[in-house]
Amino acid sequence: MRRSRFAIIGTALALALGGGPGGTALAPPAATAAAASQQSVQASMAVLQVGDDAIIQHYEQLGGSASFLGTPVGSAYDIAGGRAQDYTAGTIYWSPGTGAREVHGAIRGHYLALGGPAGFFGFPLTDEAATPGGGGAYNDFARGTIYWSPGTGAHEVHGAIRGHYLALGGPAGFFGFPLTDETATPGGAYNDFARGTIYWSPGTGAHEVHGAIRGHYLALGGPAGFFGFPLTDETATPGGGAYNDFARGTIYWSPGTGAHEVHGAIRARYLELGGPAGLLGFPVTDESGAPDGAGRYNHFSGTNAGSSIYWSPATGAHEVYGAIRAQWAALGWERSRLGYPTSGEYGITGGRRNDFQHGSILWHAASGRTEVVYTSVPSALLGVDLERIPTIQKVVALTFDAGANDAALRSILATLAASGVPGTFFLTGDWVNQFPSDAALIYNAGHRIGNHSMTHPDFTALTDAQIAAEISSAQRTIEAAGGDPLPFLRFPFGARNSRTIADVNAAGYAAIRWTVDTLGWEGTMNGTRGPDFIVQRVMASAQPGEIVLMHLGANPDDGSTLDAAALPQVISQLRAAGYGFVTLDAALG
């Protein structure tokens, strides 16, 4: 009786496994080496026959010689533990673990270039199949996939990058077909796709980068540059933008700002402030070196006047924005006398404030003006009670002490405003507490404020600790009203000595005396003095850098306010003599 081919194969496999038709051993334990060798050959022949039969069966399923594969070329052959049969238009591969699968066209060409089944990818797991959504084809292999489209050719994707690519939709998703094979990069690997790139490293996993963020990332060196590998896919932000986090920073993008990076301490502060969804908006620069060579900055899109975060080793990272930033920029940024910011912008009574290394900028909501307060005391002002601004220019500083009442304050402010003249007002803390809205009138009108102590005592009769308490109490009181008296202090009664001057300097203040006291505070002296007396005293002492002492309030005996009455003539006669007007900030150099 003729036995079928499959029966023969079954017998061969049984023989290869050492059993007879009934499952009993065909040879005794002492079988010769020749018998064992014969069994091995029989087993190999059985596997060969199974593979060949599977290839033939799959070929027939695909349509045989009428199929796209065409006719056989030569005979089946061994390859990498399996079998293969070439055809005029492709190859069918078989292995015990994968079965018989065909590979043809450009995918087959690339597969062979990568080593075929003996290479990294092993045997195919699928026939070539159309990709979802059309437009191309693919074959899955034991360790990856080769994709093909007319516009991109054939390229392989494998491992974690392949897993992420499929999670993102594969070729039917946003990224389309691969443009490269997986390619090594220092520390990891990547595949480029039609609309982006997926990067992988052992420490970060696989993440995609695309569009303008990818373009900027590559311009910054890609994974081999400072930023390293991506930690996220591109992610949408509020405000219509997007970002990718990387190992050492973030790249943000919006339609209006483009793509820019933020990293380090500036990035940390930016995120504390809400990132692109916060008041700073999107970055409009990469982190850049400050012109002074010591610090770094990023500019951002937020607020009408722009926004920035500046960093230096001495100050850390702090934001500056709006009108305060505009004022700081006008002064020269970090190269100005103020230096770098030491705080972010914060609220004060009636406005906002930023502190800097050598001062502050205050913004007053009622007037919309900014006030620059310098807190550093030049060495030339240490140890002295300044009687004249050191200058050869014909300028005068009008100063006003307030410690009694606020009579004539509004008259004085009106005269200064009408004349376009700035002044410096020395306030006691008690006066500020008594007239809490008056400090705002002064600084909103554009004038400078100084410290005149808390309670107006004779400093020479106080201990060092008492002097420090008088100064600090007044400073806190004025700051609570929204102003800042630093770095100018005037001694009550003008009483001072070397010890008290040193105490004032230790508190961060320069002691400011006067060139001329108008004596308006003495009143009319029984009708013997009037405004002309004030004008004559000022003009008699006129000189470059003259500091004029005047007072707020009325004389307690006759109720006169001679300084306020004389002020229009003081200003007009000084101008006629060629003098201009400054605040005491001019003394800081």
CA dihedral 60, 66, 71, 76 (to 10 degrees): -10
Residues facing 298 on adjacent strands: 309
475 contacts 485 by C-beta, under 8 angstroms: yes
The token pair at 482 is: 């929204």
399 contacts 424 by C-beta, under 8 angstroms: yes
127, 192, 233, 401: which one is catalytic?
Answer: 401
HEC assignment per residue over 226-272? CCCCECCCCEEECCCEEEEEECCEEEEEECCCEEEEECHHHHHHHHH
Exposure string (b/e) for 80-105, b if CB count within 10 Å is 16 or more?
A: eebbbbbbeebbbbbbeebbbbbbbe
DSSP letter assigned to residue 302:
-
Q: Report d(CA 365, CA 354) in Å as an integer.
A: 14
Q: Report d(CA 115, CA 141) in Å as an integer.
A: 12
Q: Report d(CA 312, CA 323) in Å as an integer.
A: 22
Q: At residue 562, what are phi and psi to the nearest 5 degrees?
A: -65, -35
- Tokens 């995918």, residue? 107
Catalytic residue status for 210: no
CA 518 and chain centroid, separation: 55
Q: At residue 194, what are phi and psi to the nearest 5 degrees?
A: -60, -30
Angle (CA) 295 296 301, round 5°:
140
DSSP string of 195-212, one letter each residue: TEEEEEETTTEEEEE-HH
Catalytic residue status for 401: yes
Q: How many CB atoms lie within 10 A of CB 524?
A: 16
Q: Report d(CA 271, CA 540) in Å as an integer.
A: 60
Q: How many residues does the chain have?
A: 589
CA distances from 71 to 57, 124, 420 (A): 14, 21, 101
Query: Which residue, among 240, 234, 229, has the nearest Cα to 206 in the 3D structure?
Result: 229
DSSP letter assigned to residue 497:
-
CA dihedral 388, 391, 396, 399 (to 10 degrees): -40
Residues facing 230 on adjacent strands: 246
Q: Report d(CA 457, CA 443) in Å as an integer.
A: 25
Query: Which residue, among 491, 508, 367, has the nearest Cα to 439 in the 3D structure?
Result: 367
Residues facing 346 on adjacent strands: 353
Q: Report d(CA 70, CA 498) in Å as an integer.
A: 110
Segment (H or E) for 159: helix 159-167
Which sequence positions are flagged as catalytic? 401, 551
